[in-house]
Chain A
Amino acid sequence: MNDVTNTGGLVIEGLSVDYDGTRAVEELNLHVPDGATLAIVGPSGCGKSTVLRTIAGLIGASEGRVVLGGRDLTGVPASKRNIGLVPQHYALFPHLSVRGNIEYGLKARGVPAAQRRSRVDELLEFTELGALERRKPAQLSGGQRQRVALARAMAINPDVLLLDEPLAALDPQLRGGMRRQMLTLLDATTSVNVIVTHDRQEALAMADLVAVMRAGRLVQIGAPRELWARPADAFVADFLCDAALIDAVLTPEGVQALEGRWRIPSSTFDDVTPPAGDQPARLLLRPTALALSHGQPDPPAGSIEAHVRQAEFVGESTLAQLDLAGRTISAQTPVPVAAGDVVHVTIAQRRGVVLGEKEA
């Protein structure tokens, strides 16, 4: 890794964290520029919350450094880091009012009363909580609690704003609206924002950079569109894109996958230049990239037979789990298929993505 510790923003360098005798995070390297939002995604237990707590200073690093704006925070206690934390369930102080919660950090820093009042007023207005300033957390809805937690963290003008699963505690129907509202709030900050989530939509929608973690290790980091277009491996493809990544061979005629049983002509793809000889490649199969045909006497060109294992009607389409030569692959189709059907699968025109052998 290049020396980026003096370039500003948040730098995590060679970070390893041992938690109760187990290595929870291994050799993590990240750089988030000032004003950018990083989303750390991964399944439960992948170490993403441990990274967040280590940045906050609530867990010590076993190895490596956390550097913020050129300042090494590794040995600095949590209370001196100037970091705003929004915990998963918001952790609002139940004995304090909305105003009391928001001004807590300012009081702890000894900010004079007049300045405190003015800053809290500003945040109450910004988060549209003015009418609720005297209420206690138990009297607020989930969305209101979230805004109080955010305002409380923002009140101290933190250098880094850490959000742990910020939308997970909300009802699914509220999440879309709250996500948009939170984007507006985060856009107004000049700090580095780090969001930990297991929700790929949240990560893709809210972040400038997405880091995918698995088993304590960073698998891939990049801009959302970059990761969406070129996932580093099958895990990232599955987790972030809900897609399958299968080995393939790029031939002068097209793409061969599944040990040559599926031959797809080059004309199906937009960006595939037929090579002179065979080249190893990978085929990214998103649910929306697959076209199914059912009950037709002749299988379409470039198709492969598959069995429908499971079919869920999801409104405008059906989400089918297909057994494709022993592999389970998702396909979203307008064709009303049912479990047990035999279908033919092709790649929809211009929807297939062929990746090189070792994209990263």
Chain B
Amino acid sequence: MTTALRYPVGMRVRRRRGTAQARFSSLPAALPGIAVLLIFGAVPLAILSVTALGLGATGSGEQPGFTFGHLLQVFTEARLRRELINSIVVGIGSVLIMLIAGIPLTLAMSRHEQDRGPGILGGSALVSVVFTLPIALPGIVVGFFTILMLGRTGLFAQAIPAFGGMAYAIPGLFAAYVYFSFPRVIGPLRAVMSSFDHSLVDTARTLGSSRLRAFFTVSLPIVLPAVVEVLGTAAAVTIGGYGTIATLSQGERLLALSVADELSNRYQVASASGLAVVLAMLAAGTLAVSRGLARILERSRA
């Protein structure tokens, strides 16, 4: 992606050539990966889909036999429908919030790094640790952080009582998942911005653009395809994230929570499978839509 930032058309041509060569030369190297994906990805998904259609194992009180009911329950049951909407809103919304903060931040870091080498805003070890630490934290720990800050007796609640218990409402879930998505957005964005040509912005400024105008008319349109891809990938991960919502499950719920509940607490195997398939499709769909959108954006500017 990175070379696309200056000459998108040139990059596309190179990528096509690279793909054509890779098709013949890298297949043997890719075989182990394809095998792993088939065994641990496609096969379980197929079994899960069969089970969700009522044709596989069933759980406590579930009737065997073909049905779309387990797959469609997210649309027919109000509670699950709300969880589905919450998952989409929180998953995409939290990543969008991160992007709004992350794009100017990573552009500034890239500029600093290109102008002056690694520094406070550059690629120093400390900055890298700070910006990537959350990726090492389990979702459940991120949930605890949120309770500590926005729980009923959290730090914010002690200062402003209105914040008490916000951790279990939509704003709290947003706060938790913004933190959760932080490294998943900042990391790829830094890679995208590392080769951004800042002389484009300088030129725009000498032509009379304010910093804000230069950002919206030059920087953003150029990085947008890559940003959309980052958004899709991070949102797909966030939508399926379970640990954080497991800790914050007292109020608003997300779909990942019901998948686990149905299986572990209620032993509803087919129902859990139906929800899991929908969740997987939602995450995969987010990824696919973002990739497709990124391609369209790239083509439109070539």
A79 touches B7 (CB 8 A): no
A78 to B205, CA, bound (A): 6
- By a CB distance below 8 angstroms, the chain B residues around A58 are 202, 205-206
- By a CB distance below 8 angstroms, the chain B residues around A152 are 203, 207
**What are 30 A-B residue pairs whose CB atoms fall within 8 Å in the complex?**
A20-B115, A20-B116, A56-B206, A58-B202, A58-B206, A77-B205, A79-B206, A79-B207, A79-B210, A82-B208, A83-B206, A84-B207, A85-B206, A87-B203, A88-B199, A91-B199, A91-B203, A93-B200, A94-B5, A94-B301, A95-B222, A104-B204, A104-B209, A108-B208, A108-B209, A136-B9, A136-B301, A138-B7, A138-B9, A139-B9
Q: Which of A109, A138, A153, A156 contacts B8 (CB 8 A)?
A: A138
Query: What's the count of A-B pairs with C-beta under 8 Å?
Result: 84
A81 to B206, CA, bound (A): 7
B6 lies within 8 A of chain A by Cβ: yes
Interface residues of A in 14-68 (CB under 8 A from B): 20, 53, 56-58
- By a CB distance below 8 angstroms, the chain A residues around B221 are 95
B213 lies within 8 A of chain A by Cβ: yes
Closest to A109 in B: B208
Q: How far is the CB of A135 from chain B (nearest CB, A)?
A: 10
A351 lies within 8 A of chain B by Cβ: no
Instruction: Please encode chain B, from 191 to 222, with 1 for each CB lying within 8 Å of some chain A CB and 0 for all others.
Output: 00000010110111111111001000110011
Residue among A56, A79, A80 facing the most chain B CB atoms (10 A cut-off):
A79
Residue among B8, B199, B207, B302 facing the most chain A CB atoms (10 A cut-off):
B207
- By a CB distance below 8 angstroms, the chain A residues around B218 are 93
- By a CB distance below 8 angstroms, the chain A residues around B208 are 79-80, 82, 105, 108-109, 156
- Evaluate whether A137 and B7 lie within 8 angstroms (CB atoms) in the complex, with A20-B116, A91-B197 already known: yes
Q: Which of A53, A79, A88 contacts B209 (CB 8 A)?
A: A79
Instruction: Beyond A80-B208, A89-B197, A93-B218, list 10 extra A-B contacts (CB 8 Å).
Output: A79-B207, A79-B208, A81-B206, A82-B208, A87-B199, A91-B199, A94-B7, A104-B209, A108-B209, A109-B208
Q: How far is the CB of A83 from chain B (nearest CB, A)?
A: 5
Q: Which of A53, A84, A94, A138 contacts B222 (CB 8 A)?
A: A94
A57 touches B301 (CB 8 A): no
- By a CB distance below 8 angstroms, the chain A residues around B217 are 104, 108
10 tightest A-B CB contacts, nearest first = A105-B207, A138-B9, A108-B208, A95-B301, A85-B206, A91-B199, A78-B205, A91-B203, A138-B7, A108-B209
